[in-house]
Structure 1
Amino acid sequence: MKAVLALGSNLGNRFQILQGAVDALFDAPGLEFVKASPVYETDPVGGPPGQDAYLNAIVIAETTLPPRTLLERAQSVENAFGRVRSERWGPRTLDVDLIVVGDTVCDDVELTLPHPLAHERAFVLVPWSQADPEGAVPGRGRVADLLEGLDTQGVRLRADLNLQRPD
């Protein structure tokens, strides 16, 4: 199945953390790297005022893992990079969100797929459109079409930063 993962960081060495997350996510069987989007610097959305800007990217993968196992891996990688969940949409060293896993639709306390806010977040859709121009959010439509109605001014390309394929 195709999996789309969103990575974000606004604490510490943001780029080094994103690259470390890519390396860690693909360091075990069941997840194969396909492509990473360009890196974007983005204004914080929601959460407390005064946060630093985020670095965001999308990673496209192929997976044989069930969505819940993939979620557990993502959360383990977040924890390895010091993620603290003290404030909703607050600053964080690393955020790894499952956006889409195949055509899976799931809505429970632990996992909601597709990600419930992805279709309205420019910091997800802009990089996704670059990594996978034909990408789509199940039940919501094509990424390119969803982007048409969004303000993308707070999403700035960082051409000097490129995530590398994991070793």
Structure 2
Amino acid sequence: MILAMPESTPTIAYIGIGGNLGDARATVEDALHRLAQLPDTVLSAQSPLYRTAPVDAGGDDYVNAVAQLSTLLAPHDLLKALQDIEQAHGRQRPYRNAPRTLDLDILLYGDRIITDDVLTVPHPRMTQRAFVLIPLLAINAAATIPGAGAAQDFRSGVADQPIHPISD
């Protein structure tokens, strides 16, 4: 497999993290650890962990977080690395919005807009999900969504979605 050339300067990427099967908290914490171990990547910030009810799905509550990475990995290489972490946690995709051990999504990759057969950035539903917006805003209150505007502007649209910080 030929990998794309790495980016020449680091890009700030935001990764949505969630899971609701097994020990979801331990899985999310391990995913954060694994993100910090990615090549040419620094875990530069992470949100608190949050508990949220499933959206458009059933099952147990989710544990969610957002990580900020400074990475030299190209977008598709980063996606592959995220999928490898998901697979290490037994991720299966039996149907859309199925309960999962771990879900890792590239929410933002710098100021780029990417739309192809395997990757869409910014994540297409991030402005509609409290479990994405609230953790994102916790680590970057000034976050901007390319093509959409300030992330803060979408907060009122998710105000009816319960989201609870998980305390230690």
RMSD: 1.1
| Equivalent in 144, 149, 159 of residue 151 of structure 1 | 159
CA deviations 1:62-90 (Å, max 9, x no partner) are: 11111000000000000000000111111
Moved over 6 A (4+): none
Amino acid at match of 1:42: T
Aligned-partner Cα distance in 2 for 1:150–1:24: 29
| Equivalent in 58, 64, 72 of residue 80 of structure 2 | 72
1:1-167 → structure 2 map (5 Å cutoff): 1-47=11-57, 49=58, 51-160=59-168
> Is the contact made by 2:134 and 2:155 (CA closer than 8 Å) also made in structure 1?
yes
Per the normalisation by structure 2, the TM-score is 0.90
Give the % identical residues.
Answer: 36
Amino acid at match of 1:157: P
Amino acid at match of 2:38: A
Unpaired segments of 5 or more residues in structure 1? 161-167
Question: How many equivalent residue pairs?
Answer: 158
Q: What displacement does 1:152 show? A: 4.2
Amino acid at match of 1:10: N
Q: What displacement does 1:149 show? A: 2.3
What secondary structure, in the 3-state scheme, does the structure 2 residue paired with 1:72 have? helix
Q: What displacement does 1:26 show? A: 2.3
Q: What displacement does 1:148 show? A: 2.0
Unpaired segments of 5 or more residues in structure 2? 1-10
Per the normalisation by structure 1, the TM-score is 0.91
What secondary structure, in the 3-state scheme, does the structure 1 residue paired with 2:157 have? coil
Aligned-partner Cα distance in 2 for 1:124–1:151: 12
